[in-house]
């Protein structure tokens, strides 16, 4: 499997996976803004599934990370980072 096959496989589950796969196969530009939003939605889905999970009773390490260290997510937009940084990191 070549690099394009790995990328196409990684796109499975995204809202516009077929569009991205066709762009890769045709060697054309991806609609980058839509791609970024799709990736952020996938990330948010993983974090939403872990919201409220108790790290002591949950089997996934991500539940412990989310409960103890994760930053709150901003809405899925194209511009800016997906996380809100704590104020002390902005100084």
From the number of C-beta atoms within 10 Å of its C-beta (0-12, 13-18, 19+), residue 66 rates as buried
Block residue for tokens 């100084």? 91
**Cβ-Cβ contacts under 8 Å for 42 (sequence gap 6 or more):** 13, 14
pLDDT in tens, 18-49: 999 999 899 999 898 888 888 888 877 777 77
DSSP structure string for 52-91: T--TTT-S-HHHHHHHHTPPPBPP--SSS-SBPPPHHHH-
Question: 3-class DSSP state for residue 45?
Answer: helix
pLDDT in tens, 36-82: 888 888 877 777 777 677 777 777 777 777 677 666 656 666 566 66
Q: Torsions phi, psi of 33, nearest 5?
A: -65, -45
Residues in the chain: 91
């Amino acid at each position: 499997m070549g690099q394009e096959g790995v990328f196409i496989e990684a796109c499975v589950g995204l809202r516009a996976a077929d569009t991205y796969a066709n762009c890769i196969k045709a060697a054309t530009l991806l609609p980058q803004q839509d791609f970024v939003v799709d990736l952020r939605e996938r990330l948010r889905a993983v974090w939403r599934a872990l919201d409220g999970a108790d790290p002591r009773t949950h089997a996934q390490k991500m539940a412990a990370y989310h409960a103890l260290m994760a930053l709150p997510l901003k809405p899925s937009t194209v511009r800016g980072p997906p996380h809100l940084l704590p104020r002390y990191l902005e100084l």
